[in-house]
Homo-oligomer: A and B are copies of this chain.
Amino acid sequence: MKLTEAKNKFIQAWGTLGSEWGINRTMAQIHALLLISPEALSAEDIMEQLSISRGNTNMNLRSLMDWGIVYKELVQGERREFFVAEKDILKVARQITKERRKRELEPVLKLFTELNELEGGSKVEVEEFKKVTGDIKDLTLRVDDLLEKFSKSDENWFYKILVQMMK
């Protein structure tokens, strides 16, 4: 396989995976492009390589920076801005975990806490409701806790876990 072909396949696949997990395709593709680029790229470079508009590039780069997985890089004597992706994949995974936790899990958790205050414990319907939402809340808290630990973990986290799981 040639480099160009491999690159394209990677960018494509990353875009698909992104959109399957609720991240917009272009954002994931820009991320992919930056990940495999040894040099920082300008907005212009990205526009050209992915054939996308200036506005699209700009907005998605901003999102990627909001997620904390792409950084702006200023080069001495250069007026334009360059962008680099965080190359440490574990860091990337931790960062994404942290953000989704904050953005998406926490609001749901908050709601569930409210829902559990539902009064009138007698009817079957109320019982069932409380049970299910309570269970979901408990599981979410556990996942949340696990993810929090992961997001603060070091290199060896995985190994430790896996070793323990073998026992």
A33 CB → nearest B CB, Å: 11
Given contacts A128-B37, A129-B36, A161-B165, contact A104 B1 (CB under 8 A): no
A117 at the interface (CB under 8 A from B): yes
**A146→B161 contact, CB < 8 A:** yes
**A104→B161 contact, CB < 8 A:** no
Total copies of this chain within the assembly: 2
Q: How far is A35 from B20 in the complex, measured between Cα atoms in Å?
A: 24
B contact residues around A38 at 8 Å (CB): 124-125, 127-128
Number of interface residues of A (CB under 8 A): 53
**A17→B108 contact, CB < 8 A:** yes
Q: How far is A165 from B164 in the complex, measured between Cα atoms in Å?
A: 9
A77 at the interface (CB under 8 A from B): no
**A126→B3 contact, CB < 8 A:** yes
B contact residues around A80 at 8 Å (CB): none
**A129→B161 contact, CB < 8 A:** no
B contact residues around A139 at 8 Å (CB): 89-90, 93
**B6→A136 contact, CB < 8 A:** no
Task: Write the chain B residue with the least CB distance to A127.
Answer: B38
Q: Would you list the 8 A-B pairs with minimal beta carbon distance, nearest first?
A: A164-B164, A38-B128, A89-B135, A22-B22, A36-B129, A38-B124, A6-B118, A142-B158
